[in-house]
Amino acid sequence: MKQKVLLLFILCLVALGWFYQSIESDKTSFVGSSLVATEQNRIFRMFEDGIVLSTKSKEILKDLNNLKLSTDQLLATYSAQQLQDVIQQEVIILADCLKKDFCGMRVKEQKGYYDESEVGGAKNLRYLLQHLVNLIEINEAIATSVELPFEKIFALPNKENKILTVKLLLAKDSSAKQIESLMLQEELFTEESRGELYRYLFKYTPESSVLRSAVITNLLHAIQNEDSYLVMTLLEATTDFKLAEGEFFEVVKESCSFKKGLQKSSNWKIISLALREAIDKNRYSLTVEQVCR
């Protein structure tokens, strides 16, 4: 009998624990959704104050800030030019306020981990940039008229926004001068986004050209004396670099330095595996042993 009472007591405690956990989870969820709503409202009011709006622009602004609407859904109501005009004004405002104070988001408002790259304004910016990319895919002629604060966005922490901006910039202007300018801004790109940056640099540089040689030289400098994370990121992207076997050899042999030294040798197994995968994917006749003699 005593054992049954004890078992019942334990079950009651477990049930109470689950109930309390459920309440706390709901509280956290509510606080999170309330915080997001407050942040989005603040950003929307900022757009209303910062953009000279016609009646039609107000409608566009409201729909652009509905993050559930796709580009195709927006195009069913508005023209590409109308969307582009309002998007560009919004992006200018977001780039300025994210740089200033993350558009009013403060660390003390967040519960737990605070990621500067994922504040509400950064998410809004990502949606807007993606809409522009989508519009250009539908009509390439739009690219030439895109006007954005490119360098300001590169300096912000969100990696997806950096790469979307690279896409827009190179769609607008992929001249040698522009490629060289992007290479000079490489330090603004984190390890996670640098592989993507080089993917687009190689995409827009013709094979066997002086410009391509400059990109490869820049890539060599990026790999030399860098940490293993960046080397891994770049190796994973080499499939899209479309390098000739000789070019690949020149680039990746710099990663062989991780084969030596106490601090570096612990990363060599991971890097050598990435090297093998890159060689297989690119169908080169080289082996890791040949690359890193």
Q: Which two three-digit tokens encode residue 202? A: 């190689």
CB count in 10 Å sphere of residue 134? 16
Q: What is the pLDDT of residue 36?
A: 58
The residue among 80, 90, 69, 110 whose CA lies nearest residue 153 is 90
Q: pLDDT tens-digit profile of 2-58?
A: 444 444 444 454 444 444 444 333 332 223 344 456 666 666 666 666 666 666 778
Q: What is the pLDDT of residue 290?
A: 85
Q: Is the pLDDT of residue 96 over 50?
A: yes
Is the C-alpha dihedral spanning 213, 218, 219, 224 positive or negative?
positive
The DSSP code sequence of 264-289 is HHHHHHHHHHHHHHHHHHHT-S--HH
Angle between helices 262-282 and 228-237 (to 10 degrees): 0
The predicted model gives 168-181 an average pLDDT of 94
Q: pLDDT tens-digit profile of 231-255?
A: 787 787 887 888 888 888 888 887 7
> pLDDT: is 168 or 291 the higher one?
168
Q: Which two three-digit tokens encode residue 234? A: 């770049």
The predicted model gives 183-207 an average pLDDT of 87
Query: Which of helix, strand or coil describes residue 293?
Result: coil
Indicate yes or no: pTM above 0.85.
no
pLDDT category at 163 given cuts 50, 70, 90 is very high
**Secondary element (H or E) of residue 67:** none
How far apart are alpha carbons 271 and 274 in whole angstroms? Answer: 5
Q: Is the pLDDT of residue 91 over 80?
A: yes
Q: What is the pLDDT of residue 19?
A: 41
DSSP code for 69: -
Q: What is the pLDDT of residue 281?
A: 86
Q: What is the pLDDT of residue 99?
A: 85
pLDDT category at 153 given cuts 50, 70, 90 is very high
Percent of the chain with pLDDT strictly greater than 90:
29
Burial of residue 25, with CB atoms counted within 10 A of its CB: 0-12 exposed, 13-18 middle, 19 or more buried = exposed
Phi, psi of 193 (to 5 degrees): -100, -10
Q: What is the pLDDT of residue 264?
A: 60
Q: What is the pLDDT of residue 15?
A: 45
Q: Which two three-digit tokens encode residue 152? A: 């300001």
Region of 66 (left: φ > 0; alpha: ψ -120 to 50; beta: rest) is beta
How far apart are alpha carbons 254 and 217 in whole angstroms? Answer: 12
pLDDT category at 187 given cuts 50, 70, 90 is confident
Burial of residue 236, with CB atoms counted within 10 A of its CB: 0-12 exposed, 13-18 middle, 19 or more buried = middle
